[in-house]
Amino acid sequence: MADDVWDLPPEQQRALRRADGSGFRAPMLATLSKEHPPGAGWVFERKLDGVRVIATRDKAGTPQLWSRNQKSMDGSYPEIVEALAEQGPDRFVLDGEITATDGTFSSLQARMHLQDPNRARRTGVEVEAHLFDLLVLDDIDVTRLPQSTRHRILDAVVTFRKPLYRSPALEGDPSELLAEACGDGWEGLIAKRSDAPYVLGGRSRDWLKLKCVRDQEFVIGGWTDPSGSRRGLGALLVGYYDGSRQLRYAGKVGTGYDAATLAMLRDRLDDLAADEAPFVDAVREKGQHWVLPELVCAVGFSEWTGDGRLRHPRYQGLRIDKDPADVVREQ
């Protein structure tokens, strides 16, 4: 560890606290923004197409990987565990994103649901971890430090080599950065206020999501019978929770599947079969079947219709790292 890692100005020294262990922390969440990208005092990072990870290690033990909703991911990404053991400090809590090396969420799906490290490796899908924040180092909680200081300490205490990467800050005019990101086919940018603390488990306007494409998570509440040569299911029936905590129907998602995905989804849905619709709205689709609203999927779409339905929706994958109760309509 660098000798000057704790060489901080007095006001930042006073922000340090003794950590209550080095276990899981609920991650800070970004707020979706449709405003112009902010300017001075903000840094920008690529919005990655993967799964959020909170990585922890206590007293030089084996590192652990946690999803956003505190599910273990050690078995899915054993090479990340090994790399953190070799390239990280003795005791830490880190925040980041795990992605497939090819950058696609669909490739990551092959590993997301596996708990056997050997099976995960045999998929042939290579993965990497992009680390972008530090919450605990040794026995010190650093969440009250400014983001710029946390980043400096992160760079000093982690050795970044494959498969660990530092999520880099992008420099330039914010509007031009976003336009370039969208032109390159990125999902968007995350804007972060450089002097902001880390808000555990909170959605903050100190972090903003600037999206290039329309997509979000939805709760699966049912499915329809397949037709023609398709097997498994025809479409997923999806929704989101409103301010009254009622599940609103958003439409049916009938594209974006291959044969293996259809078979996997049908197996998962059969285990969740229910007699009644979970949606508060009336749903009238041919061959409809209901399930307990326990699965979350990512869906891309072109726009919302006037009656609150998705236009041109396309299935992108299951999200085991998201709790159904957290799924709302993004504005």
Number of H helices, E strands in the chain: 7, 19
The mean per-residue pLDDT over the stretch 158-167 comes to: 95
Cα distances from 136 to residues 70, 141, 327, in angstroms, run 17, 5, 28
What is the band of 2 on the pLDDT scale with cuts at 50, 70, 90? low
Asked if 13-211 and 215-326 have one fold, the answer is: no
Question: pTM of the entire structure?
Answer: 0.80
Q: Look at residue 3 and tell me whether its pLDDT is greater than 60.
A: no
The mean per-residue pLDDT over the stretch 186-209 comes to: 93
d(CA 212, CA 191): 13
| Burial of 268: CB neighbours in 10 Å, binned 0-12, 13-18, 19+ | middle
pLDDT at 184: 87
The answer to whether the CB of 135 falls within 8 A of the CB of 55 is no
What's the mean per-residue pLDDT of the chain?
93
Q: Look at residue 226 and tell me whether its pLDDT is greater than 60.
A: yes
State how beta strands 288-300 and 92-100 pair.
unpaired
d(CA 240, CA 236): 13
The answer to whether the CB of 165 falls within 8 A of the CB of 128 is yes
| Those residues with Cβ within 8 angstroms of residue 209's Cβ, 6 or more apart along the chain or in another chain | 30, 31, 32, 33, 47, 188, 190
d(CA 272, CA 295): 9
Tell me the per-residue pLDDT of 17-48, one tens digit each, with 9 for 90 and over. Answer: 999 988 999 999 999 887 778 878 899 999 99
What is the band of 256 on the pLDDT scale with cuts at 50, 70, 90? very high
Q: Look at residue 1 and tell me whether its pLDDT is greater than 60.
A: no
Q: Look at residue 51 and tell me whether its pLDDT is greater than 90.
A: yes
pLDDT at 265: 96
Cα distances from 203 to residues 45, 206, 208, in angstroms, run 17, 9, 9
- Closest alpha carbon to 15 in 197, 137, 151: 197
The answer to whether the CB of 147 falls within 8 A of the CB of 195 is yes
| Active-site residue (options: 34, 47, 59, 211) | 47
Question: With b meaning 16 or more CB within 10 Å and e meaning fewer, what string describes 43-79?
Answer: bbbbbbbbbbbbbbbbeeeebbbbbbbeeebbbbbbb
Residue 115 identity (one-letter amino acid): Q
Beta bridge partners, 216, equal 299
d(CA 192, CA 79): 29
Q: Look at residue 255 and tell me whether its pLDDT is greater than 60.
A: yes
Topology of domain 13-211, CATH = D-amino Acid Aminotransferase; Chain A, domain 1 (3.30.470)
Tell me the per-residue pLDDT of 57-90, one tens digit each, with 9 for 90 and over. Answer: 998 789 999 999 999 999 999 999 999 999 999 9
What CATH superfamily classification does 215-326 receive?
Answer: Nucleic acid-binding proteins (2.40.50.140)
Where are the chain's structural domains? 13-211, 215-326
What is the band of 176 on the pLDDT scale with cuts at 50, 70, 90? very high
47 catalytic, yes or no? yes
- Closest alpha carbon to 95 in 46, 33, 148, 150: 150
Q: Look at residue 213 and tell me whether its pLDDT is greater than 80.
A: no
The mean per-residue pLDDT over the stretch 134-160 comes to: 96
Instruction: Report the range of poorest mean pLDDT among 28-37, 154-163, 187-196.
Output: 28-37
What is the band of 104 on the pLDDT scale with cuts at 50, 70, 90? confident
State what percent of residues in the chain have pLDDT above 90.
Answer: 76
- End-to-end, the C-alpha distance of the chain in Å comes to 43
| Those residues with Cβ within 8 angstroms of residue 110's Cβ, 6 or more apart along the chain or in another chain | 123, 125
d(CA 121, CA 108): 12
